[in-house]
A and B are shown apart, each in its own frame.
Chain A
Amino acid sequence: MSTPTTSPAPAGPGGLAPKIAAEEEARVSAGRRFIDRLIRARELGLLVVLALIVIVTGVIEPNFLDADSLKQTVLNVAIIAVMTAGMTLVIVTRNIDLSVGSILGLSAFVCGDFLTKNPDVPWPVGVVIAVVIGAACGLLNGVLVTWGRVPALVVTLGTMYALRGVAFLVTDGRQINAEDLPDSFLTAGSGDLLGIPTLIVVALLVIALFWFVARDYAWGRQLYAIGSSGRSGGQAAKLAGLKSDRRVTQAFVISGALAGLGGAMFAARYGTVDATAGQGYELRVIGAAVVGGVAIAGGSGSVLGAALGAVVLGTIQTALIVLKIDDFWQQAIVGLLIIVAIALDRLIAKQSEALLRQRSARRRTAA
């Protein structure tokens, strides 16, 4: 019953070990720099792509670089970018939220409806209502996913349907028009704060907030840990004592709340709201996150990258309009970008894997 031994291999000659260690150290730090570069490459790469789009479009059609045109571009992105921040948190935990478009539609209408009927109430109350409705929908999603153990894809597909139905029921065929809404609300939507459009200020604040929270706070790091361990059954998160269910629910609540905020922004910016508001937004938001480097499998990607993804997609959209390229190309290009982004991620991952393997092979032969 004896088994092959692992009795110690003879220790290497005295001089060899430190040398190997030193080499190893050099290799490790080189590897680290390489990996650092990869991580930063995503945000940098997006910036490069963005600059290229802006420059090329600007050269062909200088109008594109007008302050007004740029402002419109960024305004169009603001709502998507806000929702992308929430979506990033959800995807990082290895889940997905398909219901954000429906949440936007529902909260935009309720917010607009409330402000129309109560013109004397200050408009921020309407915004709060939209956010609370969104958060409640997110809570429903989160509870069904964690407590009900229903896959997020199924849950949010269901609530995407159901909430859109609720939005139709609530609107009952009505539409809110800009003239019904209080002027102060519309001014807030189209106006400036310190010379910057309010919606952009809101978007920047939201992105900065959740970028920091996800990067620099234990809460955010736990989201990454949960998504990362989810691939192997979540055992690691359990052993680390993480309250996975609670964190995942919180991520869904935030995603819902930000979709609600997006609803208020939508009402304030466009003035016109009906039950179809925000239809198809879920795909634009997920697309932005994926282009921004958020892995669908969970555990990696940053809020900043995802927001940049939203900006790139939004800029392409306006650039196409400015360049008078058929509007119809838009969606095709967005789809293509999503595929290229994930394919590139995969190829880079394969490359670095091969590098690591070679390195460990070299270590073996050196030893």
Chain B
Amino acid sequence: MSTIAPTAPAPDRTPSSPRSEDSRLKAILGRWETLILALIALVFLIGSGISSEFLTGESLTTGSSDFTEYAILALPLTLIIATGEIDLSVASVLALSSALMGYLWNQGLPMEGIIPICLVAGALCGLLNGWLVTGLGLPSLAVTIGTLALFRGLAFVILGDESVTSFPTGYTDWAFGNFAGTVVPNTIVLFLVLAAVFAVVLHRTPFGRAIFAIGANREAARFSGLRVNRIQLRLFILSGVIAALAGILLTLRNSTAAGNVGEGFELTAIAAVVLGGVSIFGGTGTIGGVLLALILLGGIQKALNLDPDISTYWVNIVFGILLIGSVLGPNLAARVREARRINSRGTRPPRPGRSAAPQSGPGGEGNSNA
């Protein structure tokens, strides 16, 4: 039904070639990723200059597996930030999952039972965040600052300050190990599989499109019949589950469960997401960009750790500068372009014929004679 008979072909519509439209979009999106790629190349060059060990298989293995948890946390965060919200509690969920794992292991449960329980606990944490944000309409920043403390606290309540180290070697060996004779750690393989799934979900499904629509204009998304609240609730639950998974991996990799693990991980994960070109206000971003940002941050960390003369704390400084620079740089570039555009048009009006009166006279003046 509902067919509007095409009366006449629209005259002034330029024929659109799908190819050019796509490549143009890609060119705009690509610029940021190109920059990160260049930075990665630079870091790897400098890294191998610092130490010949930098580019060895072993170094890359340890370097990448050390970054697994940040990388995994960054995936659901990318989706949440793309909707214009934020989840600061991910590292606390990670710790809660780790502590729960240790506690249940001490209670004598089998690993096959513990892992699903931890994932469910993560889902419940996410559900709480999501309900507070979508059900009560609270700002996610404030909510997750609260749950950051709450979940971390619960992790300590569960396990106190002990740590549990006696995990079965079958599991820890897998977490330490490399994938089928390669130098790629198993955990990184797991991450790459997850990243592929997330990329497909974000960029090639209605769910992902809805995420961007919500981030760009929440109201228009609602007016288009998208289930805005349900999608956001699901994202928070997803974030909880994935954070719990990261907690399990970290516990196995270190064969240590404790309440204090992963403190501050949320910041590195957020830094990777923002550096990867995801707008903190939502609406834009790609998993690919975040992946590149993770490689860059991991590379920097590894490179700086290699040189005994460089304080490891430069990592913090470089991360911080990169994070700010990733938003500041494009802002300034846009401003320079804008200024050039205005200058080239040369439409500045003549200087004032009458100097404006002082902007704010004595406070009471305006009122006393009004």
Whether, in the assembled complex, B280 has its beta carbon less than 8 Å from a beta carbon of chain A, the answer is yes
Smallest CB-CB separation from A91: which chain B residue? Answer: B142
Stretch at the interface among A7-15, A61-69, A78-86, A333-341: A333-341
- Are A333 and B145 in contact, CB atoms less than 8 angstroms apart? no
Kindly specify which of A110-118, A119-127, A153-161 makes contact with the partner chain: A153-161
**A150-B320 contact in complex given A169-B313, A218-B363, A331-B153, C-beta closer than 8 Å:** no
Q: Which residues of A contact B313 (CB under 8 A)?
A: 164-165, 168-169, 275
Give Cα distance in the complex from A286 to B139, angstroms.
Answer: 14
CA distance A199 to B319 in the complex (A): 35
Expressed in whole angstroms, the minimum distance between the Cβ of A67 and any Cβ of chain B is 30
In the complex, the answer to whether A158 meets B324 with C-beta atoms within 8 Å is yes
Query: Given that A151-B327, A161-B316 are known contacts, is A332 also in contact with B153, CB under 8 Å in the complex?
Result: yes
Interface residues of A (CB under 8 A from B): 96, 144, 148-151, 153-155, 157-166, 168-169, 172, 218, 241, 275, 280, 283, 286-287, 290, 296-297, 326-339, 342-343, 346-347
Q: Contacts A161-B319, A332-B157 given: A154-B147 contact, CB under 8 Å?
A: no
Contact B137 A328 (CB under 8 A): no
Please state if B271 and A241 are interface contacts (CB–CB under 8 Å): no
Render B136-165 as a binary contact track against A, CB cut-off 8 A, 1 for contact.
Answer: 111101110111111111101100110000
- B148 nearest CB across to chain A (Å): 7
Query: Would B324 and A150 count as touching, CB distance under 8 A?
Result: yes
Contacts of A336 in B (CB 8 A): 146, 150
- Chain B residues with Cβ below 8 Å from A150 are 324, 327-328, 331
Give A249 Cβ to nearest chain B Cβ, in Å.
15
A168: contacting residue among B142, B316, B320, CB under 8 A? B316
B160 touches A326 (CB 8 A): yes
Which residues of the partner chain A approach B179 to less than 8 Å between Cβ atoms? none
Partner pick for B145 among A161, A168, A290, A346, CB 8 A cutoff: A290
Shortest Cβ distance from residue A309 to the other chain B in the assembled complex, whole angstroms: 13
Determine how close the nearest CB of chain A comes to the CB of B320; give it in whole angstroms.
Answer: 3
Given contacts A159-B324, A160-B267, A162-B321, contact A148 B331 (CB under 8 A): yes
Contact B360 A342 (CB under 8 A): no
Q: Is the beta-carbon distance between B320 and A334 smaller than 8 angstroms?
A: no
B residues 301-348 in Cβ contact with A at 8 Å: 311, 313-324, 327-328, 331-332
- A329→B259 CA distance, assembly (Å): 12
| Chain A residues in 8 Å Cβ range of B86 | 153
CA distance A157 to B363 in the complex (A): 38
A interface secondary structure, majority: helix
Contact yes or no, A328 B156, CB < 8 A: yes
Cβ-defined contact, A331 with B142, below 8 A: no
CB atoms of A335 and B157 under 8 A apart: no
List, sorted by A's number, 11 A–B pairs whose CB atoms are closer than 8 Å.
A151-B281, A158-B322, A159-B324, A165-B313, A169-B311, A275-B313, A290-B142, A326-B160, A328-B156, A331-B156, A332-B157
Of A159, A161, A290, chain B has the most CB atoms within 10 Å of the CB of: A161
A157 to B280, CA, bound (A): 12
A192 → B minimal CB distance (Å): 33
Report the minimum CB–CB distance from B83 to chain A (whole Å). Answer: 15
Is B132's beta carbon under 8 Å from chain A?
Answer: yes
The count of chain B contact residues (Cβ–Cβ below 8 Å) is: 51
B150-A328 in contact (CB<8A): no
For the complex, what is the distance from the CA of A347 to the CA of B313, rounded to whole Å?
A: 44
Q: What separation, in Å, do the CA atoms of A346 and B132 have in the docked complex?
A: 11
Interface residues of B (CB under 8 A from A): 86, 132, 136-139, 141-143, 145-154, 156-157, 160-161, 259, 263, 267, 270-271, 274, 280-281, 311, 313-324, 327-328, 331-332, 359-360, 363
The answer to whether A165 and B145 have CB atoms under 8 Å apart is no
A283–B145 contact, CB under 8 A?
yes
Closest to B311 in A: A169
Residue in B closest to A149 when the chains form the complex, CB atoms: B331
The smallest C-beta distance from B327 to any residue of chain A, in angstroms, reads 4
Given the known interface contacts A165-B317, A168-B313, A290-B142, the answer about A343 and B156 at a Cβ–Cβ threshold of 8 Å is: no
Measured CB to CB, the closest approach of chain A to B284, in angstroms, equals 14
Q: Is the CB of A161 within 8 A of B328?
A: no
Residues of A within 8 A of B271 (CB): 157-158, 161
Contact A326 B157 (CB under 8 A): yes
The answer to whether B132 touches A162 (Cβ under 8 A) is no
A241 near B147: Cβ-Cβ < 8 Å: no
Q: A151 to B281: give the CA distance in the assembly, Å.
A: 9
A187–B234 Cα distance when bound, in Å, is 55
Nearest CB to that of B150 among chain A residues?
A: A335
Residues of B within 8 A of A168 (CB): 311, 313, 316
Chain A residues closer than 8 Å to B320, beta-carbon distance: 157-163, 165
- Which residues of A are found within 8 Å of B153, using beta-carbon distances? 328-335
B62 to chain A, nearest CB (A): 22
Evaluate contact between A154 and B146: CB separation under 8 angstroms. no
List of B residues within 8 angstroms of A96 by Cβ: 141
How far, in angstroms, from A334 to B313 measured CA to CA in the complex?
A: 30
Minimum Cβ distance to chain B for residue A7 (Å): 32
Q: Which chain B residue lies CB-closest to A242?
A: B360
Nearest CB of chain B from residue A221's CB, rounded to whole Å: 11
Q: A290-B145, A332-B150, A338-B149 are in contact. Are A297 and B139 (CB under 8 A)?
A: yes
Q: Nearest Cβ distance between residue B139 and chain A, in whole angstroms?
A: 5
* Chain A proximity of B245: nearest CB distance (Å): 22
Residues of A within 8 A of B152 (CB): 331-332, 335
CB-defined contacts of B139 to chain A, threshold 8 Å? 296-297, 342
Known contacts A290-B142, A329-B153, A333-B153; is A346 also within 8 Å of B137 by CB?
yes
**A165, B138: Cβ atoms closer than 8 Å:** no
